[in-house]
Amino acid sequence: MATSEVKVLGIWPSPYVIRARIALNIKSVNYEFVQEPIGSKSELLLKSNPIHKKIPVMIHGDKIICESLIIVQYIDEFWSSAPQILPSDPYDRAITRFWGAYIDHKLFPSMRIIALGHEDNEVMKKELNIIYESFALLEDVFQKSSNGKKFFGGENIGYLDIALGCNLGWVRVTEKMNNVKVLDEEKTPGLYKWSQDFSDDDAVKELIPETEKMIEAGLFFMNKMKASQS
């Protein structure tokens, strides 16, 4: 497939954009990454996603697909040959999608608040507790679903690995900037080892930015948010 037939619109620090790129890498699909200007929205993005006006957007020929987990599902279904991203069993697929939604609706909002910082210490404490509780729960999910293998999906990276692992860069920012351990080798041993295996995988390792670079991006977003509120 020619590179021009598949494009991903986004910015490099976005975990949601990283999801789409990992899925394409797993399927060995050539694509063009179109870097959006950080802090503004291009004409192409606004035209491609006029409803939500946000990244990521995948353009596949004349088709436009929005929302990161929907993009991952589309990639798995369109390029249906192995390796498979979603489980083949309908019930297993449903459970996998459930935990993907949990990550987006419960864990990631707290991660975002912590990563961008908050002036209220009580808010920070509350959100950190949500993060700890979420990772403890996901540790149990990992232990049950991995069956002693490297990933949630078994021997190969699957849907839940992508859903959670795309945010590892911001997890490390959270740990460094707040002097905490989110992925603890004693409390969450499975996820601790999983995070290393995931980051080292060929489909992933070029996409998870260095922590210092992520911190710079986080400070940029935090300052921009404060400026918009003043």
**Identity of the amino acid at 127:** E
> What pLDDT does 96 receive?
96
Distance CA 161, CA 168 (A): 11
Q: Is 6 left (phi over 0), alpha (psi -120 to 50) or beta?
A: beta
> What pLDDT does 17 receive?
97
**Does the pLDDT value for residue 161 go beyond 50?**
yes
Q: Name the burial class of residue 91, with classes exposed (0-12), middle (13-18) and buried (19+) by CB atoms within 10 angstroms of its CB.
A: exposed
> What pLDDT does 224 receive?
67
Domains along the chain? 3-78 (3.40.30.10), 90-213 (1.20.1050.10)
- What pLDDT, in 10s, does the model give residues 45-97? 999 999 999 999 999 999 999 999 999 999 999 999 889 999 999 999 999 99
pLDDT band of 101, cuts 50, 70, 90:
very high
Distance CA 227, CA 230 (A): 5
- What pLDDT, in 10s, does the model give residues 33-47? 999 988 889 999 999
* Average pLDDT score over the chain: 91
> What pLDDT does 2 receive?
43
Residue (of 46, 32, 71) closest to 159 by Cα position: 71
Max mean pLDDT among 139-143, 175-179, 216-220, 222-226 falls in 139-143
Pull the structure tokens for residue 137.
């729960």
> What pLDDT does 3 receive?
43
CB atoms within 10 A of CB 54: 16
> What pLDDT does 4 receive?
56
**Does the pLDDT value for residue 226 go beyond 70?**
no
Residue (of 148, 139, 147) closest to 192 by Cα position: 139
> What pLDDT does 121 receive?
81
